[in-house]
């Protein structure tokens, strides 16, 4: 059975008021949505809050889902908008506070590094937000190019271009740090 078809079936049942369908959707999709938020350098607490806010918004707009359409891109479009709203609120609060420590308060805690290995968060932080977002959806959430294109309101070609540019930037940065760059044919 196509896993996307079962998600579509669950979403249709959710729209009809089936509480077991929403429970199944939350259990199946929350881990990847949570990883999506964490990949955007949001603290675990903020990622938890954004995940909860996403499910609340999904509940409010569940009637807008069109049965038969892919569920994952629809959910990620909502999650993406929640994340953008979060950044806007954080920016407005930061501007009002004018705090000297605002940069330290908004950064995620760093993870332990292995000796000799690059810090993945630092590497990803060098990418533009749109490229980080595409990498998070493709690699962390396992979405297809088509699903990412739907979720970001982009074409598949634009998604491919952002991913390619992100990979090239990461290869260049790793090379600068003294790590052998992966051959083009061996990666991606």
Lowest mean pLDDT among 16-30, 68-82, 142-156: 142-156
How confident is residue 94, by pLDDT bands cut at 50, 70 and 90? low
Comparing CA positions, the residue from 42, 75, 60 lying closest to residue 147 is 75
CATH 1.10.10.10 corresponds to the domain 115-188:
yes
Measured CA to CA, the distance from residue 135 to residue 152 in angstroms comes to: 12
Measured CA to CA, the distance from residue 21 to residue 8 in angstroms comes to: 10
How confident is residue 161, by pLDDT bands cut at 50, 70 and 90? very high
30 pLDDT above the threshold of 90: yes
27 pLDDT above the threshold of 90: yes
Q: What does pLDDT average to over the chain?
A: 79
pLDDT tens-digit map of 109-128: 444 444 556 677 777 778 88
Kindly list the domain boundaries of the chain, sorted by start residue.
Answer: 1-105, 115-188
Share of the chain above pLDDT 90, in %: 31
Measured CA to CA, the distance from residue 40 to residue 136 in angstroms comes to: 8
Give the pLDDT score at 95: 54
Q: Are 14 and 62 in contact (CB under 8 A)?
A: yes
DSSP 38-96: HHTT--HHHHHHHHHHHHHHHHHHGGG--TTS-HHHHHHHHHHHHHHHHHHHHHHHHHH
Give the pLDDT score at 111: 45
How confident is residue 63, by pLDDT bands cut at 50, 70 and 90? very high
Give the pLDDT score at 75: 92
Same fold, 1-105 and 115-188: no
1-105: what fold?
Answer: Rna Polymerase Sigma Factor; Chain: A (1.10.1740)
How confident is residue 188, by pLDDT bands cut at 50, 70 and 90? very low
41 pLDDT above the threshold of 80: no
Give the pLDDT score at 113: 44
How confident is residue 4, by pLDDT bands cut at 50, 70 and 90? low
Give the pLDDT score at 122: 76
């Amino acid at each position: 059975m196509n896993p996307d078809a079962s998600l579509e079936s669950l979403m249709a049942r959710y729209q009809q008021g089936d509480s077991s369908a929403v429970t199944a959707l939350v259990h199946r999709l929350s881990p990847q949505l949570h990883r999506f938020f964490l990949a955007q350098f949001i603290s675990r607490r903020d990622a938890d809050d954004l995940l909860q806010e996403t499910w609340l918004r999904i509940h409010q707009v569940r009637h807008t889902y069109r049965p038969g359409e892919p569920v994952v891109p629809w959910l990620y479009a909502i999650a993406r908008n929640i994340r953008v709203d979060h950044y806007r609120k954080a920016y407005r609060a930061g501007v009002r506070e004018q705090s000297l420590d605002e940069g330290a308060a908004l950064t995620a805690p760093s993870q332990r590094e292995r000796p000799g290995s690059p810090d993945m968060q630092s590497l990803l932080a060098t990418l533009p937000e749109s490229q980080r977002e595409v990498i998070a959806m493709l690699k962390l959430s396992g979405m297809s190019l088509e699903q990412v294109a739907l979720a970001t309101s982009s074409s598949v070609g634009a998604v491919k271009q952002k991913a390619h540019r992100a990979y090239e930037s990461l290869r260049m940065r790793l090379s600068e740090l003294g790590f052998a760059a992966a051959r083009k044919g061996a990666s991606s």
